[in-house]
Amino acid sequence: MILKENVSEYQPKLIKKIMLTLCWILALFVSGAEVREIYLPGCSHVEPQIWYRAISDEEFVLQCALPDRDATHIYNNSLLKQHQVEWFWHQKGKEPLKAIKGSSNPALQGDALWFKPVRDNASGVYICMIREKIPCLKIVLEVETKKVAKCSGYDTNMLYLLAANGNSITCPGTKCYSHVKKTDVKWYKDGHQIKHRKSRQSLKLKPNEIYLNPTYDRDAGIYVCDYTLYDNTTKWTMRTAVTVEVIEKNTIHPPNFLYPNGVVILEAELGKPLELECRVQFGFERVSLMRVTWKRNNKENINEKLNQETSIYSKGLKGHTLLHVAKLKEVTERDLRSNFTCFAENSVGNATAVIQLKRKQRVFLLYVLCSAISTLFVFLLCTAFIYQHWIEIVLMYRSYLVHNETTGDGKEFDAFVSYAKLDSSESDSTLISEEKFALELLPDILENKYGYKLCILERDILPGGAYTDEVVTAIKQSRRAIIILSPAYVSGPSIFELQAAVNCALEDKRIKLVLIKFQAFQEPETLPPVVKKALRILPVITWKTSVSAAPNKKFWKYMHYHMPVKTTKMLGNCSLKGFFQRLFSLVYR
């Protein structure tokens, strides 16, 4: 019994010792992880290249850039992704090296490190690396208080400049280190160095300040001033920043209502949601006390809270415009009996405007339905008419409203006609009809009716030259090449004319090909690739022997459509009145 009691007393003490030992091991492991030093290969023997001094509790910026006397900027927010910057910090008098990650202070922006503000404990060595650009750069930063830096009459780092007036921006850091010899100040605005420009005569650079007369809205921004001071053998860059805002004089006017103006009656439908808009213009106030609210019957009822939202949609030096909206979930009879007052107030005074709701008369559903059906019917009718007669409409438009495209192009013929030539030994009736189409029917319609000038090799070109040269010359002198396709054409020597026409069209964009499928045919395997491609992609007009011969048939309208736009004898004296007469003739035909 005594043994059992001793064992039971010993067990809790043993467990307690084991747990304590485990906690110590875990604490040592965690603390070891915290103090583990970051090792940067290639950086251990690199000496610091830049030395900066800063005043504590002020805004400060460090750029990851090698020293350059001719540098024109001190930070770049548009750094490319492949050149990511890595920052490390060795705090003065402390170990180990720490990585600087994304935080609010200091903040990583582009290739720079921003301190907003910089604290006393920020002193130390900063190391930065940019992939493929800077392997290791060490920067020394020493932060001192105004007292240690012997600053007297230190100027503010936040300036409000009155627009259109003369103003000056003084470098705050020049009030410090009065016992040390300093160089002239170098100024930067929004990262870029400020230099005197002929285009901006109103900006003047003085030894320690910038003078602006007049001051513009675009002069607002962050100004950074640098100067060099020597402390023993060390060359320090003293850097301070000034934030500038450009303001106007405070307004002397109360708010101005853009909408509603006075009393406005607004139609509303019972049971439907409604938004009441109030647009108010406020003049500039440096310390703004503006307020906008909606009231029912000019009273603020604590038990009833209207759903209200405010947004600024126009802001500038002269002031800004507020849009204040009250949302009614559904309009009730009580809303129709109420006056909704928009109340606006600033430091000068206040103003009001009123919206009264009026019951909206319901629109008859049958009237809306009939109107919609009628509109749809007219739309479908017009679509069907245009689809049916689109070629005639295009031709009429070209005849009356489009200028003559053949004027001054230097070409002699409107179209070159290519067809299968009939040898004296051949007597196939199809070839005879094809030749008759090319030599008689085609010129009769296109030349006599529409006033075009065709080039038919046997008729218009004097014999004696080389056949190939004559064909190429005739095509180049024509605006179109009409190719009459048939089995005899694609398998005979005339196919050369098609190939020549394709080549000429590729050289001269004004030459276009018009393919007529006179008879069904199969493409021979021996056709040149350029001809095969032309037959596949170019538009083709099909000739139907029993239907297409009449002059008023669709075939000839398509031919006219593909021919050049020109003023013919038939259309020489047309007017707008004639255009509408022809259009109405299509409708009642």
* Residue 224 in tokens: 């950074």
Beta strands in 151-306 (DSSP E): 158-162, 167-170, 186-189, 192-193, 203-205, 209-212, 221-231, 234-247, 256-259, 263-268, 274-283, 291-296
**CB burial string 218-251: b at 16+ within 10 A, e below:** ebbebbbbbbebeeeeeebbbbbbbebebbbeeb
* Residue 479 in tokens: 């605006």
Q: How far apart are CA 129 and CA 138, in angstroms?
A: 9
* Residue 93 in tokens: 């008098």
What is the identity of the amino acid at 504? Answer: C
What is the identity of the amino acid at 328? Answer: L
Q: How far apart are CA 225 and CA 240, in angstroms?
A: 6
The answer to whether the CB of 497 falls within 8 A of the CB of 534 is no
Q: How far apart are CA 194 and CA 224, in angstroms?
A: 10
The β-bridge relationship of strands 307-316 and 319-328 is antiparallel
Residue with token string 């739309």: 379
The answer to whether the CB of 493 falls within 8 A of the CB of 525 is no
Q: What is the 3-state secondary structure (H, E, C) of 17-68?
A: HHHHHHHHHHHHHHHHHHHCCCCCCCCCCCCCCEEEEEECCEEEEEECCCCC
Active site residues: 497
* Residues whose CB is less than 8 angstroms from the CB of residue 305 and which lie 6 or more positions away in sequence, other chains included: none
